[in-house]
A and B are shown apart, each in its own frame.
Chain A
């Protein structure tokens, strides 16, 4: 049992991608006896997924597991079906892998309309086809009304990569440049605006996307190990992802606010609600830590893709202030970016 005061009961904040989520994951994983196979990346690394190095073969499998839930299930720019595939595929891509196949489980609440299910299944299958990933097995469960909110989809994704690829969270190098592939906070803000009924949101859509075009554009750079690590800043936003890197590598990341693309509507909604866009989820963006000697070329390649055309080098990895993320603000001040703690909620005064 956990003796931590903060883990007595599970709160929503334990799922929000911050410090409390780390506590929850540690609690769940602490007593697993076998945590990896053949010295591959295992559950202890808390990476996007795991690797299984194949003996007598120069490849390794990538395995990732995800539970997908969202409110509302149809949101501006996407739906739960698309989200489930994008989440799974992107996790494999972020480890430098090629997605091959996935299994899925639909857990559905009694009373859920077939028409809605049809839409979600359709979007799930179509997105999988676009990602060129096979759906090879699955399961369904129906739960009594009230025991679940509409529908949850869980997936396990399988990918493959060359053993020579070193990409993992712990692989940052001093001097690495940090590339962000597009504007932040679109997904979380669009959702929040829909839930709260802001009319400002009419043209704001989730950034949900398969990251495959970006990865395809830099395939050679990945093979050459010029890309040291990649992360998709979902829950916890870029604040969560950057802090995770800084911590796992015992290094600091210095980023510049003026380089970070933020849409005007996103900034306006965040300003009104007193939210920090750095903590807000993206579903179609990536952060890359790349070798500084090759960073400009990698950036140019990413910028040639449609979903990466706003990409920027937003910062650099340094030694001082280890385990911290520092921000040079738009007016020239410096401050820390902290690991988010719970669900972002609006301010009062």
Chain B
């Protein structure tokens, strides 16, 4: 395996050059600007390298709904919990997902009570478990954005054993961005767009923002200088009064995206109107397994009945934090009743959640 060359992308010399240019251009623009990213990993890069501490104070970077664990609605967790209670059932999912509560209980609590719930790193592990346990039903709780959808799609296409099925809670990023701009009063000056998602979907889905809303968009990588370069590009668009879709992460993202992955997604899934935790139902905001693969769709395979679900616990501000209207430290529970050891909302539970990241890298 090749190790990528990260020297330039983490070089202080290059950082200083970028910061110089950023400072010059923001002086020319002469008003505060606000950019949003929509990816937990971008928030990690920004916080982990202390980028907010070196950027001019009139550039604000806010965080959108970029945590796949956080945006998964309680109703979907309630469904998987009902399935986990069945006899001879193994539930498989990604790490942090098991700690997020549904309306009443989390998978982790159910696991402690004896349910067979296993953390895996990829859907191929879930299929492997199904092959090893032919007498049990193995259900994969599929969450994530466009990045993880092709992986599960590929497993479904490849003909997994008949005791394997999926609860599909995948979400799609562009629809959520559009909802954010059209509905909320965020007054965004640009998007720092997610590199991993874009590697799959390419640049085209972002055209709506430049053409329909006149908001510039930079597909961005995950090294500190990637993010700073993206900010510089966005500022330049602002200054020139342009609103293009630009690709800072061209070493990974092709303009057309990953065509094979796109084919898998369109073969296996339909895009549907889908609920996001705390945000509501988003048109084209999620994926469902197509009719032709319904034998692997746990919702079709089993009758699941759930009661009315509750997304946001009382007092929690995750729904406002996820859309950038509040910062974690503006929530009255933050660092008090809500902390990583005793988390209340999903944004504190998930390591990709905004509150969890703020708790870790910023202080008091």
Chain A interface residues toward B at CB < 8 A: 5-6, 9, 19-20, 23, 196, 198-200, 258, 264-265, 267-268, 271, 274, 276, 321, 324, 327-336, 338, 341, 345-349
Q: Is B66 an interface residue (CB 8 A)?
A: yes
- Residue interface bits B338-364, CB-to-A below 8 A is 1, else 0: 001110000000011000000111110
Q: Is B15 an interface residue (CB 8 A)?
A: yes
Are A336 and B41 in touch, CB under 8 angstroms? no
Are A331 and B225 in touch, CB under 8 angstroms? yes
Given A333-B53, A348-B144: A200 touches B3 (CB 8 Å cut-off): yes
Given A331-B225, A338-B359: A345 touches B1 (CB 8 Å cut-off): no
Are B363 and A336 in touch, CB under 8 angstroms? yes
CA distance A268 to B15 in the complex (A): 21
Are B3 and A336 in touch, CB under 8 angstroms? no
Are A335 and B68 in touch, CB under 8 angstroms? no
Are A6 and B342 in touch, CB under 8 angstroms? yes
**Which of A5, A199, A332 interacts with B342 by CB under 8 Å?**
A5
Nearest A residue (CB) for B342? A5
**Which of B48, B95, B361 interacts with A348 by CB under 8 Å?**
B95
- Which size bracket describes the interface of B in this complex? 35 or more
Residues of B within 8 A of A333 (CB): 49-54, 224
Q: Can you pick out 19 interface pairs between chain A and chain B where the beta carbons lie within 8 Å of each other?
A: A258-B12, A329-B48, A329-B50, A330-B10, A330-B224, A331-B49, A332-B15, A333-B52, A333-B53, A335-B48, A335-B53, A345-B95, A345-B119, A347-B40, A348-B68, A348-B95, A348-B96, A348-B143, A349-B196
Residues of B within 8 A of A264 (CB): 3
Are B361 and A335 in touch, CB under 8 angstroms? yes
- Residue interface bits B36-66, CB-to-A below 8 A is 1, else 0: 0001110010011111111000000000001
Given A324-B363, A331-B12, A331-B225: A349 touches B48 (CB 8 Å cut-off): no
Residues of A within 8 A of B96 (CB): 345, 348
CA distance A341 to B224 in the complex (A): 25
**Which of A5, A274, A324 interacts with B44 by CB under 8 Å?**
A274
Are A335 and B351 in touch, CB under 8 angstroms? no
CA distance A102 to B362 in the complex (A): 43
Residues of B within 8 A of A196 (CB): 121
Of listed A9, A196, A331, A335, residue having the most chain B CB within 10 A: A331
**Which of A265, A268, A334, A346 interacts with B53 by CB under 8 Å?**
A334
Nearest A residue (CB) for B148? A348
- Residue interface bits B151-190, CB-to-A below 8 A is 1, else 0: 0000000000000000000000000000000000000000
Are A331 and B3 in touch, CB under 8 angstroms? no
CA distance A334 to B362 in the complex (A): 9
Nearest A residue (CB) for B362? A336
Residues of B within 8 A of A23 (CB): 341
Nearest B residue (CB) for A239? B360
Nearest B residue (CB) for A258? B12
Instruction: For the complex formed, measure the closest distance between the CB of B86 and the CB atoms of chain A, giving whole angstroms.
Output: 23
Residues of B within 8 A of A329 (CB): 48-50, 224
Residues of A within 8 A of B40 (CB): 347, 349
CA distance A274 to B1 in the complex (A): 18
Are B341 and A6 in touch, CB under 8 angstroms? yes
CA distance A268 to B16 in the complex (A): 24
Residues of A within 8 A of B341 (CB): 6, 19-20, 23, 341
Residues of A within 8 A of B67 (CB): 349
Q: Is B94 an interface residue (CB 8 A)?
A: yes
Residues of A within 8 A of B39 (CB): 349
**Which of B194, B340, B361 interacts with A336 by CB under 8 Å?**
B361
Nearest A residue (CB) for B145? A349
Of listed A199, A332, A333, residue having the most chain B CB within 10 A: A333
Given A6-B342, A336-B361, A346-B95: A331 touches B224 (CB 8 Å cut-off): yes
CA distance A20 to B6 in the complex (A): 34
CA distance A199 to B44 in the complex (A): 26
Given A335-B50, A335-B361, A336-B360: A349 touches B342 (CB 8 Å cut-off): no
Instruction: For the complex formed, measure the closest distance between the CB of B355 and the CB atoms of chain A, giving whole angstroms.
Output: 13
Instruction: For the complex formed, measure the closest distance between the CB of A140 and the CB atoms of chain B, giving whole angstroms.
Output: 33
Residues of A within 8 A of B119 (CB): 345
Instruction: For the complex formed, measure the closest distance between the CB of A271 and the CB atoms of chain B, giving whole angstroms.
Output: 8
Nearest A residue (CB) for B227? A331
Task: List B residues 73-124 near A (Cβ within 8 Å).
Answer: 94-96, 112, 119, 121
Residues of A within 8 A of B312 (CB): none
CA distance A349 to B173 in the complex (A): 12
- Since A333-B49, A348-B94, A349-B39 are in contact, a sample of 14 more A-B pairs with Cβ atoms closer than 8 Å, ordered by chain A residue number, is A199-B1, A274-B41, A324-B363, A327-B50, A331-B51, A331-B54, A332-B15, A333-B224, A341-B341, A345-B96, A348-B352, A349-B40, A349-B68, A349-B194
